[in-house]
Structure 1
Amino acid sequence: MEQNKMPIKLDAVKIENFKAIKEATIPLSTGLTVLVGQNSSGKSSALQAIHWACRCVANPKVVRNQSRSISAHDFDFNPTIQIRTVGNNQELRQGRGENPEVSVKVTFSHSTNDGQQENLESIVKISQGNNEAVKVDLSNDSIDADFYTILSDQNSPFSSYIPGLAGVPLAEEKRSRLPILKQAASGDANTVLRNILLLIKDDPRDDVSIEKLSELCSKVLGAIKIKVEFDEIRHSEINAKIQTSSMAEDYWTPLEMAGTGVLQCIQIFAYIILYRPQLLLIDEPDAHLHPDRQENLILALAEVVNEYEMSVVLTTHSPNVVRAMPISAQIVWMNEGVVHEEDGDNIRQRMGWGILDKKIILITEDGKPAELKSILKQWPQLERAVSVWPVSGSKSLPTLSACESLLNMTCMPHIVLHRDGDFMTPKERAELKKKYDHANVTLWITDDTDIESLFLNPERIARIYEIEIEEVNRLYEEIFNENAIDFEDKFVGKRQDIAEDRRIYQKRDDATKAATAKQEIPLGEGGLGRVLGKDFSKKLKEKLAQQKKDASIIFSIHDNENNIGLSLQHILNAALAH
């Protein structure tokens, strides 16, 4: 498909003083960005502010390096008829005397796709003008020249906005192209959806067709065909119909009889095919779709953004939408008009999601799983798919029967259990894994003794502290020599626990003796296979602190680290692919 590469890359949008938003900076992906939050969190306000700023610049009366007051009726999109009321708990006003101007400000952070120009900013200020006019201020080089050229293109709208669909009219007369474009830009494309379909049908471009639209919609809705007809001589209204796989071969139903979710899906892909916006803003596209179709929509959009080289920003309440997001997607958590840069757990709880947006429950024996969560941060796609569920100790890990019940209760696809190695021999590890032989349940046992040991590879310690490997080896030797008796006592104690674990041995006397086990357990990197990582790390931190080094960073993930706990990564990837 011939497609002009998007000349600019939007990195973020900062919105100030608009409806629910006092100030919020929204990071954007080059593909999909999803805004997540409760009602009145500012999600819809963000979409409207972005689109309003774009459409203000697109108005032919708005000129770069000037401030213009223009009648609200001359704009194809306004968030409300009473423009002065869109401020965040304050009305917009002009600046007079000691009273400063109160305006909406939208700042686009962007760069060029060729990487030649980065960290560019373009600011659009909108306030109340004289006689209920809209004042758009682009003075003082506030907007980049190239960005202005793109936004002001009358024939190719930079942004398109799709609010929640309220259905389509029972009939539509054929309109000319310009009124259709203005209606679509206003966010009311549902009122001209048949006209848009007719434009697609009559478009001379090879990659714009009703068949292409049907193909994209079928990825979400299942097999669906769309038909649109209009004859200048015989018809006064456009005739649009759809056919689904459940219908008889010769039966077509009128477009207005389709469900709201079907109509919105058609509208989304019709926009993309016909107008090719560089930025598509969709408000809650999941609202009228079954959960399975919600995930299908995200998968289809992920393909489309690559094919058409565009960005999509959408809002959602749905955990299914978040669960389906690809690794490249940007997920932005919002609450009370503010962007939260946390992992979203608190907001997820307030929204009542629990683990509904996850694909894997990872049940860990660690009551405080900070190190496990740190490992997951290496792989964002896996981290997004996993819900960590801590319990207190290995004896609290659920049995296979309990896991099966949990799978049935939660409808989760997979459960992974984390168990520390704790000086188990290879044979004991294999025996324990047999107890969890299930297609949807996997037991992960740490490669060495525990989670902490995975962070203590001598070469890693040398790298993150920028010291010679010989110095690290010297520190390790000191720690082993100074704590030999304590480490040995811990080893024997853990071996006694294993002997009493009925998941491994039916009788205590059947257990492998400690001396024999020590010979069978691999020594591991730096000798860590035969010492508890949590104990060793405490001693190592003391040594590092004596050298005035920050001991707290041992369990943090550093730049380009992605190989800690690779056996867990393999298990999680296999669970997702199952």
Structure 2
Amino acid sequence: MYISKLNIKGFRFFNDNFTLPLNKGLTVLVGENGSGKSTVIDSIRLLLGEDEYNRSGISLNDFHRPFSVESARPVANIRIDCIFDELEGPEQIAYLPWLKPSNVNQAELHLEAINKEDARGRIRKNMWGGTSRRGIFEWELVNSINCVYLPPLRDAEEKLNSYRGSRLARLLTSLNGSGDEDKRLEEKVKEQNNELLSDPLIKSANGLIKKCLIDSVGEILGQDVSIQFSEINFNKIIHQLRLLFFPEIKEGEIPREAFRDLSENSLGYNNLLYLATIIAEMEAKNYVSTTSLKVLLIEEPEAHLHPQLQTRLLQYLQGAAEENNIQVIITTHSPTIAAAVGLDPVVVMSSSPLSQERKAIALTNCGLDRKTKFFLERWLDITKSVLLFSKGVILVEGISEAILFSEFVKRVLEQETLEDYGISVVNIDGIYFKYFMQLFCGYKIVEENFESCDNIPIRCVGITDCDPEGSNIGEGDGNNIDGCKNPQRFLVHDLRNHTSNCRLSINSKTFEFDLALEGNNLAIMNLALENITETDGDIKKRARIAKSMDWRSTTSCEKIVEALLLLKRIEKKKGEFAQELAMLLKSEDEPDFEVPSYIRDAILYVTGKSN
């Protein structure tokens, strides 16, 4: 049993019906700030009655108000619904009032809140299970669901220390199950108390306190006293326990006095101890009940953890969710986490800045065939997974384009940057555009019938080389691509005809060659070549001459010859050349440099300045 679908309407960010698909094990919600990830978590908390962090419930501020000058009135009600899926025999019996008549493997839970306070200043809520709201609602069913929430700024040290209701006490209560361990633990503590009381020092202190009481009020009005090492009631014993740590795991038993208080530990490792205690508690509940749903909600699990620990933690959570039948739902801003778990758990949340329309897209619903999925899971590392958090994506073939692109953008957008638009440049190290664009285009690229599928609703553009046959330079201009060897060239027309979300922009030959043909670019490009050439030979001498020429006054044939010569000379050091050229373009002198039209068009498209 797990929550397979969540519907939200009128709650905070979400005005219209918002539907979120959820996985049986791990679901990772990624997306930019303001996409509604925390609102999703809070809606689940409201529905399942999670209150560990003393949430007071729904307030008037929770009712959606449109960002509109004409009308900013809040909506009349909030509606949150969820579908539970894959209920088996015992679960169908336990949650019988919530079952769907049309499908006994599914159950429903609903919450509705009216935008009106009662006499006590509370918002009236109504909850019901199943399809009819008229039946008697059994709160025991909601209370049987074990929902735990970890906020983004959690105090792990406090939650693991000794106090009533601590996480450690909850774990021990869960392990106790039927209560068979109560008497055994109580007897041990009782024996320790008796042994302590027989110590002369303790007996002396106890007798002295008793004497002072008698002296002060007399034997008739006085009270007897007894020093005790600890409470002997099971519940009070476990509430006094606290967790200690040792900074490494060693073979053999570590002396107890070597362990330290959590206040001496790092914030990151305390977070890991906290998570481990919660997972252990949920695992312990498997021995108590097989019909209780266990839901773990975690916001920003990356808090205070370096990348290797983030990866290891998420892989652990993914395994623990499957092994212990726990539904884990996390939100994250970490590309490391987004890259660590594969594509299946990832749901991208996005919003349109103009319409405020919000969508949740499960990557597995984006029409990924087996080959595409395998490819993306190998390539979506920490540097490339930033595309899941962006408002737009530019895909480039190699390191040269990636290094220079920010300088091109400043020239096209007049000193604005891609960061101003929330757009990321991703180097895909090749021409694998169809695999990445499958996430954004909205149709199955590998099929000829152009079947539609889900997509991340942001713009994506690719920058690629024509690589023409022989001397067919100039034929790959974005429209006439017949002379190109590039096997991805079919995407140029396919994307333009079947989606408004993706484009592939293609040049006439290669990146550096096309740069060289524009305006007087050959001058500064030869200056870059001169700077990276160590020996004072023919290459450096020719570059010194070429950097001083006015290439605007030369013929196109002369430019092509010089561009081909430059391309040959930087063939084995394109990355170094791009780095030097980027430094020259970034200098305060603002050198004369023009951006090729195919790159300019791509920048204008992805920023929404053109179609």
Normalising by the smaller structure, the TM-score range is 0.3 to 0.5
Computing the radius of gyration from Cα coordinates, the structure with the larger value is: 2
Query: TM-score, normalised to structure 1's length?
Result: 0.46
Query: TM-score, normalised to structure 2's length?
Result: 0.44
